Chains A and B, each alone.
Chain A
Amino acid sequence: QQPVQSPQAVILREGEDAVINCSSSKALYSVHWYRQKHGEAPVFLMILLKGGEQKGHDKISASFNEKKQQSSLYLTASQLSYSGTYFCGTEGYNQGGKLIFGQGTELSVKP
């Protein structure tokens, strides 16, 4: 039931791009993305509700393919502040808002 994220970790130089994938074995109603910096609480990035939906937040965007039960998070022209662990959270249909998180992807952006 837990979504699977890939890669587990990625190291970037400032300005480089990255993609983080999230896939589920179950039909999804929504996908959430959160970022957690070391020693802090997770912070909401975006939520995708419909199949094929794409959303953007500054230079971070995401897509959701409902048919494939997959979502991808795109980080463009990465900045040092992007470093942290990214979690996708998935909600199935008729789950009343129950959000299950993947194991996380650790992103490190180096100068």
Chain B
Amino acid sequence: DSGVTQTPKHLITATGQRVTLRCSPRSGDLSVYWYQQSLDQGLQFLIQYYNGEERAKGNILERFSAQQFPDLHSELNLSSLELGDSALYFCASSTGGGEKLFFGSGTQLSVL
């Protein structure tokens, strides 16, 4: 158990819908990262937060947004969903920049 909690574990929805993925980092970790992993693909960096503020952005679509709340949990919002958004979404946390990442078990999103 990495100590990073992601909910829900599975999510099935339809095209055009909006979903929210939730992540609770390890106790004491200030950084939260979001990654997307499609079938047979690597880990695509989406966005990083540190202590409530956006620290870095990757190839995150405009339809996607995220935030980190004062209690340090984070949410990834995906809207106007398309079939191609089906993927495993991982959240990871670390104490800060440059430190090792602890990954949650992921949220498997299926867009039908």
Contact = CB atoms under 8 A, between A and B. Distances in A.
Nearest to B6: A41
B58 interface: yes
Interface residues of A, number: 25
A43 B90 CA distance: 12
A18 interface: no
Nearest to A95: B56
Contacts, number: 69
A42 B56 contact: no
Given A30-B98, A87-B43, A97-B97, A41 B55 contact: no
A47 interface: yes
A97 B45 contact: no
Given A41-B2, A89-B43, A100-B45, 14 more contacts: A29-B98, A41-B103, A41-B106, A42-B43, A42-B103, A87-B43, A97-B31, A97-B55, A97-B94, A98-B56, A101-B35, A103-B41, A103-B42, A104-B43
Given A98-B48, A98-B56, A87 B100 contact: no
Contact of B42 (A29, A96, A97, A101): A101
A101 B48 CA distance: 14
A47 B95 CA distance: 14
Interface of B: 2, 31, 33, 35, 41-45, 48, 50, 55-56, 58, 90, 94, 96-106
A106 B104 CA distance: 21
B48 A97 contact: yes
B104 A41 contact: yes
25 contacts: A29-B98, A34-B101, A40-B105, A41-B90, A41-B103, A42-B103, A44-B100, A44-B102, A47-B100, A87-B42, A91-B97, A96-B48, A96-B56, A97-B96, A97-B97, A97-B99, A98-B97, A99-B33, A100-B45, A100-B58, A101-B42, A101-B43, A102-B42, A103-B41, A104-B42
Contacts of A40: 105
Contacts of A95: 56, 97
